[in-house]
Every structure is written in structure tokens, then in C-alpha cells.
């Protein structure tokens, strides 16, 4: 809408001191996206040149931005952290548009309409400098206060403000639109504040006001302009973002039962008619098909499901793909690029790792299926384990359509079970099983009568270590 007249500068060089995590706050995630990307993606949507001022942990921040934006942004390094005014000074060489939009990198809830309104009023009032304000009456050491007296207007930074915040309830949101000509003329007039060892960008307001130049203010809701200066504010911002997302999906026919406990990421999609239970986590690029049920305490991360999927409680799905009409869980774990067909049932205490499972197949109880390629309509008995690892390398287990794997089988890869083959319960399968064959690998049972009579302790203890052939000797 204003691409030819505006360029943007994002301030992302600060030290995140109040986070106390030892890391830059700008890479903390909010609903699955790094905080700094909320600013860069918002401004990208306006199709204007963007410069990011980086300093503290600059390589990580740059890497994160570049991985998302493919080099479309410029970076300027502010080596010393001498305040917002100094950050702007560092960008002087790249000022080339008529208006410079400046915003903080730690304001992830700002929406496009706030920027649009700022631009519109900036133009219509022909202002030298315009900025976004908000109403915030409680004391808060994160926001400068806007003080208007007669003809004068200025921003007092939070650390220098000692007045009554309910009286001076208008705060500076940290989003400015400045005419290049004003910036070029007045940037040198910013003074160095000895107590904080910083130059403040906010002093430009007073400079303009003192020169009787037009200063325009544009109000916005506090919940949209919140800055994130500590971990409590991070939590609050994510809470707001999450509520926005849940409301969005509710309006599109998704039933959330205990919505306040659900975690949902920015890029998740959910089909109409679906149900999301208490404590569900929908993460990354997860896509839920229509009319599905995601039950309590399940987590889906980068996972795509078909329609009419039923994810039972306490199920974790990661980086996998599920067909329609599948039922998974409770207490199941499907991960590592597994692909599950339609009408599959996976039950409790079942893990599927790096495997494909054909349509109509069932594995209902306690199994580990790893590096396996399983056909359609296969039945996997309880306690089945694929041994894909021989201390050196990993091998594949292949099970063809309609095979029936008995309970408590140990399948030692590489191994192939043929179509319609049958393995006896309790077998250790070391060799391929031809189609329609029966494979057995277990020892015949021996009963030693009266062994447990008289509660003889020593007999019991002996029994524990007795094996089949020894037992047979006595029988």
C-alpha cells in the first residue's frame, strides 16, 4: 500500500537483560514462531525494504531471519548497545525512502491495521514524526510515558518517569514513522544520557515538538502493542496469541472442550467438525482433517491426519502422516516420519518409529515397530518387537499384506514375512517366512507336577533358574 515511500527498520540488538535466561529473548517462541519473526513477517507483508539492527547474539538472530526470509532483508550491526537512538544512527547509510518506519523486534502482537493507520494519519496530517500510543494506567517499567503540556509533547522513558501512571496513562508503543528529511537533520541532536549511557529515539519527539513541527499520535489497544521484556510478559503475550488462534478455529467449526488449556501454534490447521480435548498440543505445521477427535493430553507435532481420525488420550504424534478413519492410542507414540494408512488401529503402549503401515492394519497392544514396512490388513500381536538394530547398523523388517504376527514375537531384521503368513505367539523370527507359511520358534512346554507343593522355598528358587531340558529330565 505504501511501498514506494516507506522503508522499515526493526530494532533487534538489545540485551534481553530482564529475561535472565542467558539467551536473546528475540528467539523465544510464541505459538511456535520466534518472536523476531512476528515483526519481520508483518513488515514483509507490506512489501517494503526492511533493515534489521542486530547486536546481542547477532548471528543466531540473523540466521533465524534469513532461514525464513531468504536474504530479502538487510542487516546492520550495532556493536555497542548504546540505546535506541544509537541504533538508528547506525542505519544512517541505508536511509533512502521518504519515510522511515521504526519498530521494536519484541512486539509480536502488532497487527497490520495499526501500521496502516499510522501511515494514513502520518500522510494526512503531513507529520514530521508520528508514533503509536496506548492506554496503560498501571505502573510499569517497560514503557515510556507520553507527556503533553500546552503545545509541547515529549516521551519520558520509564526509568526517568516518577509521576503517577494513572494520571499519565498514555504510553509510547515504540512504533514510529519519521520523515527522512527530519531524521537526517535532527539525528545529530540526540543527546547522550549519562545515567543510562544511551541515546533515546524518543527524544526525537521533543525535538520535533520544540521546533513546532507536526507530531502525530495514533492510539492502539494495549494488548496489541505489548512489548516483551521479561518471562511474565512473554507468557502473557503467548496467552493472548493462543486465545486469538483458538477463537479463529472456533469460528470455523472446531469444538474446544477446555480451551484455556490447549496449546496451538501459528501454522496449525484444523478441519471443521473436529473436537480438541483438554490439554491438547497442536504444534508446528500440524494439519487435522475434518470431523476428527483429538482427545485429552495428546500432542501432535508437524503431523498431518486424514478425516475422521480419532486420537485417543495421551498420544504423541511427531513428524508423521495419518490416513483417514485411523484410531491411535491411548498412550501411543508415532514418530520419525512414519506413514500410517487409512482405517489403521494402533493401541496402547505402541510405538511406531520410521515405519510405514498399510491400510486396515492393527497393532493394538504394547509393541515396538521400528524401521518396518508393514502391508495392509496385517495383525500385529501384543508384545511384538522389531529388532532393527544389531549394535552396528539398522535393518528393515518387511511384513506383507494379510500376515498375522502372533503375540510376543521378536522379529530380527533384516527379515521378511510373506503375504498371509502366520507366526506363532512367543516366537523369535530370525529367518524370512514364505507367503502363507506358518513360522514357529518356541520350546515345548513341560509341566513338573507338585513342584510348588509344601511351599518349599528352595524348590521355588531352583525353579527360577531351571530350563526346559533340565525340567524335562525330571518329568
* Distance in angstroms (rounded) separating the CA atoms of residues 311 and 303: 12
Residue 433 binds a copy of itself, judged by CB under 8 A: yes
Does position 359 bind a copy of itself by CB under 8 A?
A: no
If phi > 0 it is left, if psi is from -120 to 50 it is alpha, else beta; for residue 279 that is left
**Residue where the block lists cell 528467539:** 27
**Which lies closer to a copy of itself via its Cβ, residue 96 or residue 474?**
474
Residue 51 to residue 73: CA distance in whole angstroms: 6
CB 286 within 8 A of CB 270: no
Q: Is 314 a catalytic residue?
A: no
- Please select the residue that binds a copy of itself; options are 139, 159, 212, 460, rule is CB under 8 A: 460
Under the binding rule (CB under 8 A), the answer on residue 19 touching a copy of itself is yes
Name residues whose C-beta falls within 8 Å of residue 445's C-beta, 6 or more positions apart in sequence: none
Give the residue with the Cβ less far from a copy of itself, 84 or 292: 292
Identity of the residue, 6 or 405, whose beta carbon is nearer to a copy of itself in the bound complex: 405
Residues 278-307, mask of contacts with a copy of itself (x by CB under 8 A): xx-x---------x----xx-x--------
Residue selected from 365, 373, 376, 401 as contacting a copy of itself according to rule CB under 8 A: 365
Nearer to a copy of itself, 137 or 231 (CB): 231
**Paired residues of 6 in beta bridges:** 99
All three cell numbers of 173: 508503543
Q: How far is the CB of 103 from a copy of itself (least distance, A)?
A: 24
Nearer to a copy of itself, 230 or 267 (CB): 230
Q: By CB under 8 A, tell whether 448 contacts a copy of itself.
A: yes
Q: Report in angstroms how near the CB of residue 363 gets to a copy of itself at its nearest.
A: 12
Q: Using CB under 8 A, pick the residue from 129, 370, 374, 378 that binds a copy of itself.
A: 370
Cα–Cα dist 324/134, whole Å: 48
- Total interface residues for a copy of itself by CB under 8 A: 108
Q: Which stretch binds a copy of itself (CB under 8 A): 49-57, 75-83, 95-103, 243-251?
A: 243-251
Q: Is 456 in the site for a copy of itself (CB under 8 A)?
A: no
Whether 268 and 252 have beta carbons less than 8 Å apart is answered as no
Q: Strand runs (DSSP E) across 265-361, as ranges?
A: 269-270, 275-276, 281-283, 287-288, 293-294, 299-301, 310-311, 316-318, 321-322, 327-328, 332-335, 339-340, 345-353, 356-357
Helix (H) or strand (E) holding 65: helix 58-69
What whole-number distance in Å separates Cα of residue 415 and Cα of residue 408?
16
| Of the candidates 95, 328, 130, the residue with the CA atom closest to the CA atom of residue 214 | 130
**259 binds a copy of itself, rule: CB under 8 A:** yes
Applying the rule CB under 8 A, the residues between 24 and 83 that interact with a copy of itself are: 28
Residue where the block lists cell 515538538: 209
Piece of the chain touching a copy of itself by CB under 8 A; list 51-59, 127-135, 189-197, 273-281: 273-281
Q: Which of 215, 268, 385, 399 binds a copy of itself (CB under 8 A)?
A: 385
Of 366, 378, 398, 399, the residue at the interface with a copy of itself (CB under 8 A) is: 366
CB-CB contact of 43 with 36 (8 Å): no
Catalytic residue numbers, as ranges: 365
Amino acid at each position: 500500500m505504501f511501498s514506494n515511500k516507506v522503508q522499515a527498520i526493526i530494532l533487534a540488538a538489545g540485551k534481553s537483560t530482564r529475561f535472565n535466561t542467558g539467551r536473546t529473548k528475540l528467539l523465544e517462541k510464541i505459538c511456535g514462531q520466534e518472536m523476531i519473526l512476528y515483526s519481520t513477517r508483518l513488515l514483509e507483508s507490506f512489501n517494503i525494504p526492511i533493515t534489521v539492527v542486530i547486536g546481542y547474539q547477532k548471528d543466531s538472530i540473523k540466521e533465524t531471519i534469513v532461514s525464513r526470509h531468504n536474504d530479502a532483508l538487510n542487516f546492520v550491526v550495532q556493536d555497542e548497545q548504546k540505546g535506541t537512538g544509537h541504533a538508528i544512527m547506525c542505519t544512517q547509510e541505508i536511509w533512502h525512502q521518504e519515510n522511515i518506519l521504526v519498530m521494536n523486534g519484541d512486539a509480536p502482537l502488532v497487527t497490520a491495521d495499526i501500521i496502516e493507520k499510522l501511515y494514513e494519519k502520518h500522510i494526512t496530517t503531513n507529520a514530521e514524526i508520528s508514533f503509536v500510543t496506548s492506554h496503560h494506567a498501571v505502573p510499569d517499567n517497560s514503557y515510556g510515558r507520553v507527556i503533553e503540556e500546552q503545545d509541547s509533547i515529549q516521551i519520558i522513558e520509564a526509568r526517568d518517569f516518577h509521576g503517577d501512571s494513572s494520571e499519565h496513562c498514555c504510553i509510547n508503543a515504540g512504533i514510529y514513522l519519521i520523515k527522512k528529511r527530519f531524521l537526517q537533520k535532527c539525528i545529530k541532536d540526540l543527546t547522550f544520557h549519562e545515567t543510562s549511557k544511551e541515546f533515546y529515539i524518543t527524544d526525537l519527539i521533543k525535538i520535533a515538538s520544540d521546533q513546532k513541527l507536526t507530531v502525530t499520535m495514533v492510539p492502539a489497544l494495549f494488548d496489541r502493542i505489548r512489548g516483551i521484556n521479561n518471562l511474565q510478559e512473554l507468557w502473557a503475550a503467548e496467552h493472548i496469541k493462543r486465545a486469538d488462534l483458538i477463537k479463529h478455529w472456533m469460528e470455523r467449526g472446531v469444538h474446544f472442550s477446555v480451551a484455556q488449556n490447549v496449546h496451538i501454534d501459528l501454522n496449525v490447521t484444523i478441519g471443521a467438525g473436529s473436537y480438541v480435548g483438554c490439554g491438547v498440543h497442536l504444534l508446528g505445521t500440524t494439519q487435522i482433517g475434518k470431523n476428527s477427535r483429538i482427545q485429552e493430553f495428546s500432542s501432535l507435532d508437524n503431523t498431518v491426519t486424514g478425516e475422521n481420525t480419532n486420537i485417543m488420550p495421551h498420544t504423541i504424534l511427531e513428524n508423521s502422516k495419518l490416513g483417514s478413519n485411523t484410531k491411535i492410542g491411548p498412550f501411543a507414540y508415532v514418530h520419525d516420519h512414519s506413514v500410517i494408512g487409512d482405517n489403521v488401529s494402533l493401541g496402547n503402549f505402541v510405538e511406531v518409529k520410521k515405519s510405514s503401515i498399510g491400510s486396515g492394519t492393527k497393532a493394538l497392544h504394547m509393541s515396538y515397530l521400528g524401521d518396518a514396512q508393514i502391508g495392509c490388513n496385517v495383525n500385529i500381536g501384543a508384545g511384538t518387537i522389531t529388532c532393527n538394530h544389531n549394535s552396528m547398523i539398522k535393518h528393515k523388517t518387511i511384513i506383507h499384506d494379510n500376515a498375522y504376527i502372533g503375540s510376543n514375537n521378536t522379529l530380527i531384521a533384516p527379515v521378511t514375512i510373506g503375504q498371509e503368513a502366520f507366526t506363532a505367539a512367543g516366537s523369535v523370527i530370525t529367518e524370512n517366512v514364505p507367503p502363507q507359511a506358518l513360522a514357529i520358534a518356541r520350546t515345548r512346554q513341560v509341566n513338573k507336577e507338585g513342584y510348588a507343593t509344601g511351599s518349599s522355598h528352595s524348590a521355588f528358587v531352583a525353579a527360577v533358574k531351571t530350563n526346559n531340558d533340565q525340567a524335562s529330565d525330571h518329568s
